[in-house]
Structure 1
């Protein structure tokens, strides 16, 4: 099947997925580019539509994966269609429409002895995506996005994950509900604070721990702070005032990984 006109009704629907309200209503989102589409297919995400530039042909990297996906519609489209649907100035030759995950936060809560990153009001999509990527790299068990965070399915967030979105559970949740549930199951809730007594290098990261990361300006909200078990500090002997949310999360994640994987 081919769709060549940007005025086609389906093309308008796909283009609408660049906006959060349409993603929320339809329960779908878009990923663009060979690498992200490849990651989605390899992770068995619910890919509904795979659209490729009909003049350039199906990318060679994707051809071996096409047989493994059931019920996926493959559509050849024009460069004009891709241009209308894309969120970038230099559109990629392929995109996919994917159904949102339904597993949610229960998958993360069910894990024993887990290392999880919890974001509270991290508004920058690049930071949210980078934190998901760092969590994946450090072998964390999941990422939870609380209220006020950039939308997980924002195109910039997705691009910043570099495919890590498909490698570990990532869920959006009400922190006021989920953090007490985690504590009841024996999880230690840890945040960073300039008033922290322990440094991230003296704190023991072993066992079930959720690392709370707040916004660049305000940190975690007072409501979330009230649920925290322990605040730790990232030592900074240099002259920089602070680290951004993604950098701070990455420092904590890799120190946690070092202790949990290499100091057994």
Structure 2
């Protein structure tokens, strides 16, 4: 049976006010907590054993059926019935689902970057600003068997509500770290990593490069300006995705997906 707390009805409740503040990055960073909104994301977090403090659900509807088995089997969070006003105060959408969770940020050990894991590449993002792009890249990285993801300076916050929704819960299944890429990439190269960066000026095709090695790093830059000069200086080889049709470039999330699944193809299907 889940651990239940008394219902919270008022959106002015001090706990609710504290939860609502987690919609702002400065409070997420100060508190080390964030909100997860919706049945699917909460289910993924519970199934992955992510550290949740509370799961709040609409009192009149009860615990969503999709979460009932997890509520009965997963220990840790307390389950709190709340009013629709509380849901509306804390939700990140105009038409909120009847459940949200308060989660703790999870610090992943840097070992994920060096251990090789399943042989998949490490993905590094340099100033990728759009939350939807960041979330989609996390989703593609998890789906294609990447080892880890590094968020460099200027990259959208992983715990932004839009980023979380775009990940579709995959962030709960892959290590995601934050780091200064200008310091991290030279360290990766010292440890034997092969660092590739995407560039429209590159001559080397991604299909002619070995993206299957356990020391492979794939670096993606800002939507408008690409890799910063400092990060570009730490790349071993610039590569390009050949395009035979009429398009100037690909969206960064699309480009990352192409390269991630090309890496998977080389590792698993050749």
TM-score, normalised relative to structure 1: 0.96
Between 109-118 and 149-158, the greater mean CA deviation after superposition: 109-118
RMSD: 1.2
Look up the match of 2:133.
Answer: 127
Give me the TM-score of the superposition, normalised by structure 2.
0.94
1:205 offset after TM fit, Å? 1.1
Matched ranges for 1:43-58 at <5 A: 43-58=48-63
Q: Which segment drifts farther, 153-162 or 188-197?
A: 188-197
Tell me if structure 2 keeps the 8 A contact 1:105–1:172: no
SS in 2 for 1:96: strand
Deviation string 1:148-189 (CA, Å, 9 cap, x unpaired) is: 000010000000000111111111111122212211211100
The answer to whether the aligner puts 1:148 opposite 2:154 as a matched pair is yes
Distance 1:17 1:243 in 2: 33
CA distance in 1 between counterparts of 2:103 and 2:114 reads 25
Task: Tell me how far apart the structure 2 counterparts of residues 205 and 108 of structure 1 sit (CA, whole Å).
Answer: 16
Aligned counterparts of 1:244 and 1:229: Cα–Cα separation in 2: 23
Which string of whole-angstrom CA distances, capped at 9 and with x for unpartnered residues, describes residues 190-249 of structure 1?
Answer: 011122221011111121111000011110110000000001111112111111110010
- What is residue 69 of structure 1 aligned with on the other side? 74
Query: Structure 2: any 5+ residue segments left out of the alignment?
Result: 1-5
Aligned residues: 263
Structure 2 SS opposite 1:61? helix
Partner of 1:102: 107
Q: Distance in 2 between matches of 1:15 and 1:30?
A: 9
Are 1:36 and 2:41 an aligned pair?
yes
Of stretches 62-71 and 197-206 in structure 1, the one that deviates more from structure 2 is 62-71
Check whether the contact 2:120–2:212 (CA below 8 A) recurs between aligned residues. Answer: no
Q: Given the alignment of the two structures, is residue 240 of structure 1 paired with residue 247 of structure 2, yes or no?
A: yes
Q: Deviations over 1:27-77 (max 9, x none)?
A: 000111110000000000000110000011101111111244333111000
Could you list the runs of 4 or more consecutive aligned residues of structure 1 that deviate by over 4 angstroms after TM superposition?
A: none
Q: Which residue of 1 aligns with 2:143?
A: 137
Structure 2 partner of 1:198: 204
- Which of the residues 2, 9, 12 maps onto 1:4? 9
What is the distance in 2 between the residues matched to 1:56 and 1:160?
Answer: 26
Tell whether the 8 Å contact from 1:104 to 1:172 is kept in structure 2 after alignment: no
1:18 aligns with 2:38: no
Helix, strand or coil: the match of 1:171?
A: strand
Q: CA shift at 1:111, angstroms?
A: 2.8
- Name which of 154, 163, 169 aligns with 1:157: 163
CA distance in 2, matches of 1:180, 1:69: 41
Matches within 5 A, 1:153-232: 153-207=159-213, 208-232=215-239
